[in-house]
Structure 1
Amino acid sequence: MSALPNDVGANAEPLLTIEHLSVRFGETLAVDDVALSIGRGERVALVGESGSGKTVTALAILRLLSDARISGAIRLDGEDLLAKSERAMRGLRGSDIAMIFQEPMTALNPLYTIGEQIAETIVLHDGVAKKEAYERAARLLERTGIPEPRRRLFSYPHQLSGGQRQRVMIAMALACRPRLLLADEPTTALDVTIRGQIVELLRELQRDEASKPGGGMSVLLITHDLNLVRRFAQRVAVMEKGRLVETGSVEQIFSAPEHPYTQRLIASRPERNVLPVLPIAPVLLEAKDVSVDFATKLPGFTGWWRRGRFRAVDDASVSVRQGETLGIVGESGSGKSTLAMAMLGLQRTAGGAIEFQGRLIASYQGRDKLGLRSHLQVVFQDPFSSLSPRQTIERIVGEGLALHRPDLSGEERRKRIVSVLREVGLDRTVLQRYPHEFSGGQRQRIAIARTLVLEPRVIVLDEPTSALDVSIQQQVLRLLTDLQRKYNLGYVFISHDLEVIGAMAHRVAVMQNGAIVETGDVTRIFDEPAHPYTRKLLKAAFDR
Structure 2
Amino acid sequence: MPNTPHTDAASPEPLLSLERLHVRFGETVAVNDVTLAIGRGERVALVGESGSGKSVTALAVLRLLRDAQVSGAIRFGGEDLTKKSEREMRGLRGSDIAMIFQEPMTALNPLYTIGEQIAETIVVHDGVPPVEAKRRAVALLARTGIAEPGKRVLSYPHQLSGGQRQRAMIAMALACRPRLLLADEPTTALDVTIRAQIVDLLLELQRDEGQKRGMAVLLITHDLNLVRRFAERVAVMERGTLVECASVDQIFSAPQHPYTRKLLESRPRRAIEVVPPVAASVLEAHDVSVTFRTKLPGMEGWFRKGRFDAVSNASVSVRQGETLGIVGESGSGKSTLAMALLGLQRTSNGAIVFQGRPLASYRGGEQTQLRSNMQVVFQDPFSSLSPRQTIERIVGEGLALHQPQLDAQARREKVVAMLHEVGIDRTALARYPHEFSGGQRQRIAIARALVLEPRLLVLDEPTSALDVSIQQQVLMLLTGLQRKYNLGFVFISHDLAVIGAMAHRVAVMQNGVIVETGDVGRIFSNPTHPYTRKLLEASLQA
Give the corresponding residue for 2:444: 446
Distance in 1 separating the partners of 2:285 and 2:133: 45
User: Could you tell me how far 1:282 is from its partner in structure 2?
Assistant: 2.4
User: Could you tell me how far 1:26 is from its partner in structure 2?
Assistant: 0.4
8 Å Cα contact 1:164/1:332 also seen in 2: no
Q: 1:66 to 1:365 in 2, by over 3 A?
A: same
Q: 1:27 to 1:204 in 2, by over 3 A?
A: same
Q: 1:20 to 1:532 in 2, by over 3 A?
A: same
TM-score by length of 1: 0.91
Q: What is the 5 A alignment of 1:199-238?
A: 199-212=199-212, 214-215=213-214, 217-238=215-236
Give the corresponding residue for 1:18: 18
Which one of 231, 253, 256 corresponds to residue 255 of structure 1?
253
Deviation per CA, 1:143-188, whole angstroms, max 9, x where unpaired?
A: 6566776776666555666555545544443444433222221111
User: Could you tell me how far 1:371 is from its partner in structure 2?
Assistant: 2.1
Distance in 1 separating the partners of 2:294 and 2:176: 31
User: Could you tell me how far 1:471 is from its partner in structure 2?
Assistant: 1.1
Residue type at the aligned position of 2:402: H
Q: 1:374 to 1:96 in 2, by over 3 A?
A: farther
8 Å Cα contact 2:7/2:40 also seen in 1: no
Secondary structure, in 3 states, of the residue corresponding to 1:251?
Answer: helix
Distance in 2 separating the partners of 1:120 and 1:374: 52
Residue type at the aligned position of 1:455: E
Distance in 1 separating the partners of 2:302 and 2:91: 38
Give the corresponding residue for 1:294: 292
User: Could you tell me how far 1:352 is from its partner in structure 2?
Assistant: 2.6
User: Could you tell me how far 1:438 is from its partner in structure 2?
Assistant: 1.3
Give the corresponding residue for 1:487: 485
Give the corresponding residue for 1:7: 4
User: Could you tell me how far 1:474 is from its partner in structure 2?
Assistant: 1.0
Residue type at the aligned position of 1:352: G
8 Å Cα contact 1:297/1:305 also seen in 2: yes
User: Could you tell me how far 1:351 is from its partner in structure 2?
Assistant: 3.0
Give the corresponding residue for 2:279: 281
Residue type at the aligned position of 2:185: E
Q: What is the 5 A alignment of 1:460-479?
A: 460-479=458-477
Deviation per CA, 1:432-481, whole angstroms, max 9, x where unpaired?
A: 11222211111111111111112111111111111111111111110000
User: Could you tell me how far 1:400 is from its partner in structure 2?
Assistant: 1.7
Q: 1:351 to 1:170 in 2, by over 3 A?
A: farther
Residue type at the aligned position of 2:394: I
Give the corresponding residue for 2:350: 352
Residue type at the aligned position of 1:187: T
Secondary structure, in 3 states, of the residue corresponding to 2:15?
Answer: strand
Larger CA deviation: 454-463 vs 7-16? 7-16
User: Could you tell me how far 1:313 is from its partner in structure 2?
Assistant: 2.1
Distance in 1 separating the partners of 2:454 and 2:150: 43
Distance in 1 separating the partners of 2:165 and 2:448: 28
Give the corresponding residue for 2:85: 85
Q: 1:75 to 1:10 in 2, by over 3 A?
A: closer
> What value does the CA root-mean-square deviation take over the aligned residues?
2.7
Give the corresponding residue for 2:52: 52
Secondary structure, in 3 states, of the residue corresponding to 1:500?
Answer: helix
Which one of 328, 334, 338 corresponds to residue 336 of structure 1?
334
Which one of 366, 373, 376 corresponds to residue 375 of structure 1?
373
Distance in 1 separating the partners of 2:283 and 2:149: 37
User: Could you tell me how far 1:48 is from its partner in structure 2?
Assistant: 1.1
Give the corresponding residue for 1:61: 61
Query: Structure 2: 5+ residue runs without aligned partners?
Result: none
Secondary structure, in 3 states, of the residue corresponding to 1:14?
Answer: coil
User: Could you tell me how far 1:407 is from its partner in structure 2?
Assistant: 2.1
Q: 1:61 to 1:174 in 2, by over 3 A?
A: same
8 Å Cα contact 1:334/1:514 also seen in 2: yes
User: Could you tell me how far 1:323 is from its partner in structure 2?
Assistant: 0.9
Q: 1:180 to 1:537 in 2, by over 3 A?
A: same
Query: Structure 1: 5+ residue runs without aligned partners?
Result: none
Distance in 1 separating the partners of 2:318 and 2:384: 25
8 Å Cα contact 1:397/1:450 also seen in 2: yes
Asked whether 1:27 is paired with 2:24, we answer no
Distance in 2 separating the partners of 1:303 and 1:76: 54
User: Could you tell me how far 1:139 is from its partner in structure 2?
Assistant: 6.1
8 Å Cα contact 1:166/1:186 also seen in 2: yes
Q: 1:170 to 1:486 in 2, by over 3 A?
A: farther
Give the corresponding residue for 2:531: 533
How many residue pairs get aligned? The number is 539
Distance in 2 separating the partners of 1:306 and 1:178: 47
User: Could you tell me how far 1:344 is from its partner in structure 2?
Assistant: 1.7
8 Å Cα contact 2:144/2:167 also seen in 1: yes
Which one of 514, 517, 522 corresponds to residue 516 of structure 1?
514
Larger CA deviation: 143-152 vs 400-409? 143-152
Residue type at the aligned position of 2:54: K
Q: 1:111 to 1:422 in 2, by over 3 A?
A: farther
Distance in 2 separating the partners of 1:155 and 1:343: 34
Secondary structure, in 3 states, of the residue corresponding to 1:211?
Answer: helix
Distance in 2 separating the partners of 1:340 and 1:321: 16
Larger CA deviation: 529-538 vs 121-130? 121-130
Distance in 2 separating the partners of 1:323 and 1:95: 55
Secondary structure, in 3 states, of the residue corresponding to 2:400?
Answer: helix
User: Could you tell me how far 1:311 is from its partner in structure 2?
Assistant: 2.6
Distance in 2 separating the partners of 1:449 and 1:169: 37
8 Å Cα contact 1:166/1:190 also seen in 2: no
Give identity over the alignment, percent: 77
Give the corresponding residue for 1:240: 238
Distance in 2 separating the partners of 1:542 and 1:283: 34
Q: 1:160 to 1:92 in 2, by over 3 A?
A: same
8 Å Cα contact 2:7/2:14 also seen in 1: no
Give the corresponding residue for 2:310: 312
8 Å Cα contact 2:45/2:219 also seen in 1: yes
Q: 1:343 to 1:33 in 2, by over 3 A?
A: same
Residue type at the aligned position of 2:332: S
TM-score by length of 2: 0.91
Q: 1:169 to 1:340 in 2, by over 3 A?
A: farther
Distance in 2 separating the partners of 1:156 and 1:344: 33
Q: 1:498 to 1:138 in 2, by over 3 A?
A: farther
User: Could you tell me how far 1:260 is from its partner in structure 2?
Assistant: 1.4
Distance in 2 separating the partners of 1:414 and 1:305: 54
Deviation per CA, 1:195-235, whole angstroms, max 9, x where unpaired?
A: 111011011111221232x32x3211111111111011110
User: Could you tell me how far 1:70 is from its partner in structure 2?
Assistant: 0.7
Secondary structure, in 3 states, of the residue corresponding to 2:345?
Answer: coil
Give the corresponding residue for 2:195: 195
Larger CA deviation: 232-241 vs 7-16? 7-16
8 Å Cα contact 1:285/1:319 also seen in 2: yes
Give the corresponding residue for 1:185: 185
Give the corresponding residue for 1:75: 75
Distance in 1 separating the partners of 2:71 and 2:229: 34
User: Could you tell me how far 1:67 is from its partner in structure 2?
Assistant: 1.4
Deviation per CA, 1:275-325, whole angstroms, max 9, x where unpaired?
A: 111212222223322223334455557787765333322222222221111
8 Å Cα contact 1:161/1:333 also seen in 2: no
User: Could you tell me how far 1:358 is from its partner in structure 2?
Assistant: 3.2
User: Could you tell me how far 1:130 is from its partner in structure 2?
Assistant: 6.0
Distance in 1 separating the partners of 2:119 and 2:405: 57
Residue type at the aligned position of 1:9: H
Give the corresponding residue for 1:43: 43
8 Å Cα contact 1:163/1:332 also seen in 2: no
Secondary structure, in 3 states, of the residue corresponding to 1:196?
Answer: helix
Give the corresponding residue for 2:264: 266
Secondary structure, in 3 states, of the residue corresponding to 2:19?
Answer: strand
Residue type at the aligned position of 2:195: R
Deviation per CA, 1:380-436, whole angstroms, max 9, x where unpaired?
A: 112222222222111211122222222211111111110000000011011111222
